[in-house]
A and B are shown apart, each in its own frame.
Chain A
Amino acid sequence: MGLFTRKKTVFVESDILVIGGGMAGCGATYESRYWGRDLKVVCVEKANIERSGAVAQGLYAINCYMGMQWDENQPEDHVRYARNDLMGLVREDLGYDIARHVDSTVHKFEEWGLPIMKDPETGRYLREGKWQIMIHGESYKPIVAEAARKAATEIYNRIMVTHLLMDKTKPNRVAGAVGFNVRNGNFYVFRSKAVIVSAGGASHIFKPRAVGEGMGRTWYAPWSSASAYALPILAGAKMTQMENRIVLTRFKDGYGPVGAYFLHLKTYTENAYGEEYESKWYDHTKELVGDYVDRHPVPTCLRNHALLEEVKAGRGPIRMVTKEAFQDPHNETVGWENFLGMTIGQAVVWASQNIDPKHTNPELTTSEPYVMGSHATCSGAWASGPADYAPSEYQWGYNRMMTVDGLFGAGDTIGGTAHKFSSGSFAEGRIAGKAAVNYVNDLGSDQPQVSEGEYEDLKKVVFQPLETYQVGRNEIVAGTVSPSYMLPISGLQRLEKIMDEYVGGISSLYTTNEPLLTRGLELLSMLKEDLDHLGAEDLHQLQRAWELHHRVLASEAVTQHTMFRTETRWPGYYYRADHPKLDDTDWHCFTLSRYDRDSGTWEMEKAPVYHIVD
């Protein structure tokens, strides 16, 4: 009996358990209640759903809206767009499904009180670009959270979910989850017939550019700790496209967004000497990727690639030309409010460095890589598609169910569906919610059973870092260096260094190869062993310890997938220097992995890409 296993265990029963109350989780909670009037719908969140997930800070645009009511775009158009941007590889069935449901989602947001800007001439939503509409979204998350609170039977804030629980009667079926309360340390056992994972993607797996006090100023939120991936991976769910990490071109240091600047304010980039540079790299890029460079709009990774090549050629920094656009006071307001609405840190950086874009063209940079499933990238779990048209190989059960029975996903969790953003993540949560209700209704008397042995074992594992610290701390006089334990921050920095140096981070300009990946895997396996020696001084550090566990497992998946795909599909996101070209002969396919948690081994396979629109 460990020191901390005497902590109280709280049991929560539910029909549907939603893990992570961000955009996708709020959508899943709302829809589960709509279709499952008598079901117990529980949402569990490690922070507070009022301000949690990637939209905690707000957003100034909704980046996925068709406008079918005005015939602006059809779902087919969005599939083509996402496919082109991801160099041919997306789950078109899932993407179409999100696109056809996203407009009703956005219309509900407006009805609930989200201020959406209107075009004064047409009265339609004000377009920032073909897919984006502009909003005053400071309270986007509180509004969406209010809808989820109205829908849920119970919301549990400040509970970090660490593991899923499996059914003791059927090995490939989920039965719930465990976690701990970050405030009082109670251990939680959630028993549920269906589980929807709607947790966050991964920041802080690659070393960020800012490493001191500013380490938290990553592009994606520092609280996005890869639970979206680690939870399904540990349960044996198949994952897809985990190599497809994303690198963002953003304003320097604050990572302030560039979408409104390019699309609405019509600002543009130039090199240090005032020259346009993208066209210079056209022939070079064409040699690497062929006709993909001729697609419109030019894929995000290829625009990164041109910027990187220009910087490597010694003509950096790259700047955004804002001085002209900002002479218009309306544009100036849009430019600043864009940051204040979603990346306040960029306004802080510009204020501190006296950068007024009316007088100075600000610098751009490329970020460290991130792993997520909702932006211009599509890492995540391999999920069953919609029943009405998904190919049979993509359909083995309910919509958005993973390869584990009863385990559903949405948002960053689900792979292959790029460009869903906030609205598409909420819409995907709704899709998963309705499917989960049908799953629960169809179960009948065949209910999953939680094993007491499993959650009691996990209870010991979950609190082990507290015990390790308690036992070891008096061995040393003071300070953070102990021969018996490692603090979560040290483990995190080791992870970031390994991923950065071996798996294609900023220090190698996103370049890796088989020998580097092989060594990276060796170092990751040692880090995984060392995680058994994490020491947590308090419950906050215990949360950090489990976030690190999740990040390390997701990183291993990223590295395995990167090793498997022997081509460079997305130059500008990462480069396999030993396979520098795109290879449609062998790699016009998805990569799939499955982790065996008993042996710690990964099985890799390919899955076909089906196109459903021309």
Chain B
Amino acid sequence: MPTFVYMTRCDGCGHCVDICPSDIMHIDTTYRRAYNIEPNMCWECYSCVKACPQNAIDCRGYADFAPLGHSVRVLREEAKGTISWKIKFRNGNEKNFVSPIRTTPWGSIKSPADYEAPSQEAMKSQELAHEPDALNIDKLPALTPDQLKQGVV
């Protein structure tokens, strides 16, 4: 397919339409449910699968090189900060993996405007926001133009 949508699970909420980086998850006007309108432009990135509140979207590997009978399922839990995977091989073997996805609460990043405003002097320096502090070294490294040379080195 690669991604496809189960008819009985999809409620047409459109989360997948909103998130798909390739713009290929659309709502079918007759059934009022989502489907993949352009499977050959699908990267199998699973953005839609992860975003679906109904777990209605799955992936069937590209049929032109992936034999049938496999599955790679995912559950992304933002509140728990984890992602869980279940891989099923064509021969029935299974593997399971769980990884963290974030160490801070969602929405907790501070706006750059909430830091003290930079000085005029800093505006003209080579330092970027939060430097040199965020470098964890004393000062920003620099070169001088007299080091320039041409030719093969």
Contact = CB atoms under 8 A, between A and B. Distances in A.
Contact of A57 (B23, B45, B105, B152): B45
Interface in A596-614: 608-614
Contacts of A390: 145
Given A57-B45, A345-B43, A354 B112 contact: no
Most buried by A among B18, B24, B62, B89: B62
A171 interface: no
B124 A30 contact: no
A336 B43 contact: no
Contacts of A101: 128, 131, 140
Interface string A574-585: 000000000010
A31 B112 contact: yes
Nearest to B48: A51
A48 interface: yes
Categorize the interface residue count of chain B: 35 or more
Contact of A348 (B18, B66, B118, B142): B66
A438 B141 contact: no
B93 interface: yes
B12 interface: no
Contact of B148 (A210, A337, A611): A611
A100 B97 contact: no
B137 interface: yes
Contacts of A584: 152
Nearest to B114: A150
A34 B62 contact: no
Contacts of B23: 46-47, 158, 182, 223, 540, 543
Contacts of B117: 37
A107 B134 contact: yes
B87 to A, nearest CB: 5
B53 interface: no
Given A146-B109, A217-B43, A349 B135 contact: no
Interface in B72-104: 72, 74, 76, 83, 85, 87-91, 93, 95, 97, 99-104
B20 A47 contact: yes
A311 interface: no
Contacts of B149: 610-611
B41 A107 contact: no
B128 A147 contact: no
A212 interface: yes
Contact of A48 (B21, B76, B91): B21
Contact of B44 (A223, A344, A427): A344
B64 A213 contact: yes
A121 B41 CA distance: 44
Interface in A169-219: 182, 210-218
Interface residues of A, number: 95
Given A223-B21, A356-B93, A68 B102 contact: no
B148 A391 contact: yes
B131 to A, nearest CB: 5
A221 B45 contact: yes
B93 A223 contact: no
B27 to A, nearest CB: 11
B108 A222 contact: no
B108 A389 contact: no
Contacts of A445: none
Nearest to A139: B101
B37 interface: yes
Interface stretch (A110-118, A277-285, A451-459, A468-476): A110-118
A347 B87 contact: yes
A108 B151 CA distance: 38
Interface string B14-31: 000011111110100000
A480 interface: no
B26 to A, nearest CB: 7
B90 A351 contact: yes
A527 B115 CA distance: 51
Contacts of B69: 352
Nearest to B1: A213
A351 B93 CA distance: 9
B111 A151 contact: yes
Given A35-B123, A114-B103, A215 B41 contact: yes
A112 B107 CA distance: 10
Query: Of A53, A211, A253, which is in contact with the most chain B CB atoms at under 10 Å from its CB?
Result: A253
A138 interface: yes
A597 B84 CA distance: 51
B112 to A, nearest CB: 4
A356 B102 CA distance: 29
B23 to A, nearest CB: 6
A222 B41 contact: yes
B104 A614 contact: no
Given A112-B109, A217-B44, A47 B131 contact: no
A88 B152 contact: yes
Contacts of A354: 89-91, 93
Nearest to A115: B100
B54 interface: no
Contact of A217 (B62, B135, B137): B62
Contacts of A51: 19-21, 45, 47
Interface string B38-50: 1111111111000
Interface string A326-339: 00000001001100
Contacts of A543: 23
B13 interface: no
B136 interface: yes
A37 B117 CA distance: 8
Nearest to B117: A37
Given A51-B19, A146-B107, A351-B87, A214 B40 contact: yes
A350 B118 CA distance: 52
A613 B147 contact: yes
Nearest to B49: A344
A43 interface: no
A430 B129 contact: yes
Contact of A150 (B2, B22, B109): B109
Contacts of B134: 103-104, 107-108
Nearest to B144: A389
Given A37-B113, A143-B102, A356-B93, A430 B39 contact: no
A588 interface: yes
Given A51-B20, A341-B99, A389-B143, 6 more contacts: A50-B19, A74-B141, A340-B74, A345-B61, A434-B128, A584-B152
Interface of A: 30-31, 33-35, 37, 46-48, 50-53, 56-57, 68-69, 74-75, 83, 88, 96, 100-101, 103-104, 107-108, 112-115, 136, 138-139, 143, 146-147, 150-151, 158, 182, 210-218, 221-223, 253, 333, 336-337, 340-341, 344-345, 347-354, 356, 386-391, 427, 430-431, 434, 437-438, 441, 540, 543, 584, 588, 608-614
10 closest cross-chain pairs (CB), A and B: A214-B62, A113-B104, A69-B136, A212-B64, A34-B112, A104-B134, A351-B70, A345-B44, A352-B66, A57-B45
